[in-house]
Chains A and B, each alone.
Chain A
Amino acid sequence: MKAYWHKCLLCLLLLTPLAATANAEPTVIVIKASKFLFQPAKIELKKGQTVILEFTSSDRLHGFSLPDFALQADIEPGKTTRISFTPDKAGTFVFRCSVFCGDGHEDMAGEIVVKDS
């Protein structure tokens, strides 16, 4: 009986990565925008790996702009905004709010660090 469970466990360990590969869904990165910050403000990604950037706003209209990848989105309160993103170059890239939101708007920024996979 013990040998049987050992075999089952072995099968699970072997099959799990295959199953994960077969059903590979892009990782969802949840980003919350509010006056005057993004949470998280630093995001680490791998070059060539597709992720979904999922934005929500807790207060007012904000924007997301990542000029190095020509990404732009409005983040409306009460809605979820999703962008599929596959970084094709490594480095550190600044993103910022692109919708004027008040006195701290100029400081509302973050960075995406893309590492070679």
Chain B
Amino acid sequence: MNPLIDRRKFLQLASLGGGAAFMSGLGFEVLAADRLSAGVAAEDFYFVQLSDTHWGFKGPDKNPDAAGTLQKAVAAVNALDKQPDFVVFTGDLTHTTDDAQERRRRMSEFKAIVSELKVKQIKFIPGEHDASLDKGEAYQAYFGDLHYSFNHKGIHFIALDNVSDPAAQLGLAQLDWLKADLQALAANTPIVVLTHRPLFDLYAKWDWTTRDGQQAIDLLMAFENVAVFYGHIHQEHHHVTGHIVHHAAKSLIFPLPAPGSVPKRAPIPWNPAKPYNGLGFRNIEAYPWKNYRLDEKAIISGETL
């Protein structure tokens, strides 16, 4: 067994009945399913998910290094031994402001900082802090389309926008677009959905839901292999609806409490004894034959573990 595996915190995300053990090209021991997606030359790779950076946030009791944490994450990604194929930011790139000029200034600064990533393939997804107050106008000027899809090494990626409508819904037009996008795919095409808010009702009392998210889930249920990666809740969280897996990522500004664990949804204060505690990003090792592994990276005083 590769000794690296023992040091890594990872999750087996999909059951792979009938698979055989082998060493992947990434150096991890994985279980392979007994077939590939139809007609697609599958190849293992990994990408990095960063989320909820909230550039522009100020709150020394929650993160006294709010103006430096994003840069530390960029440096940490750049320091990875093997660079990812691409990087995704799953929303709340910037912290909200009523001032339209300030919003654009924050987006400009954020974009300049992440341009320091060695990896130039960067995918952005909007969060409500970026896009709800102006229905995504500034966001689109800086980061492009609010929703889109692309293919990468046998996986169909779909970026969904559940925030530019401030009522936190995808809306009929986007659902129609999703339906059309999916129509071109075979049922065994691996699908990864990238979005900001949970598509399922994680905890409605804290507004951790998407009003019409179930309609998207219903459309995706026709596909055998679907994984959703999202942000919004500032913590690692894993959930399954039917056969669809949903994985929330940590934030890079402050952690939030576990759903329903405390009466009020308030940021967990900064702990000077454990700086950056609860913050981080993740590597997502993708094996297009129904297998993903998460490698959670914590930021500790500017270093990563």
A residues in contact (CB < 8 Å) with B:
61, 63, 65, 67-68, 72, 74, 94, 96, 98-103, 105-106
Contact = CB atoms under 8 A, between A and B. Distances in A.
Nearest to A106: B265
Interface stretch (B37-45, B146-154, B162-170, B291-299): B162-170
A11 B284 CA distance: 80
A100 B207 CA distance: 10
Classify chain B: how many residues form its interface, as a range: 10 to 19
B97 interface: yes
A100 B133 contact: yes
A98 B205 contact: no
A65 B166 contact: no
Question: Main SS of chain B's interface residues?
Answer: loop
A67 B211 CA distance: 12
A67 B204 contact: yes
B163 A100 contact: yes
Question: Main SS of chain A's interface residues?
Answer: mixed
B6 interface: no
A20 B272 CA distance: 62
14 contacts: A61-B166, A63-B167, A65-B207, A67-B204, A68-B205, A72-B211, A98-B167, A100-B132, A100-B166, A102-B98, A103-B97, A103-B98, A105-B128, A106-B266
Contacts of B205: 67-68, 94, 96
B265 A99 contact: no
Given A67-B204, A94-B205, A100 B168 contact: yes
Contacts of A65: 204, 207
B96 interface: yes
B96 A99 contact: no
Contact of A102 (B96, B207, B266): B96
